[in-house]
Amino acid sequence: MYQNVLNSVIEHTSRKLGIDKNTVDLIYRSYWKFIREQLTQQPFKGKKEEEVVNIAPNINIPYIGKIYVNVNKIKAFNKLKK
């Protein structure tokens, strides 16, 4: 379902802007790759909770909202890694 919607949006955007579908897809994927890198490249290891709160990144995406990292999410992620 999600992939069908994504393909539809990519095709519509490609036609509307006159850009190749592959280019639109690369732009979309690079946007989310950048966000993922920004949220995962922070040096949280060995930090106290107060320090994590001060350096925890958040990214505001128009029409979607704010994506952020908090201490509980970091602990859950580290638990899943193990």
Confidence (pLDDT) at 44: 66
Give me the helices (H) in 2-65, please.
Answer: 2-17, 21-40, 49-55
Measured CA to CA, the distance from residue 9 to residue 80 in angstroms comes to 33
Measured CA to CA, the distance from residue 51 to residue 61 in angstroms comes to 24
Domain that holds residue 12: 2-81
Total residue length of the chain: 82
Q: 2-56, pLDDT tens digit by residue?
A: 789 989 999 999 999 999 999 999 999 998 898 888 777 766 666 676 776 677 6
> How many domains, the chain?
1
Measured CA to CA, the distance from residue 59 to residue 14 in angstroms comes to 26
Contact 24, 10 (CB under 8 A): yes
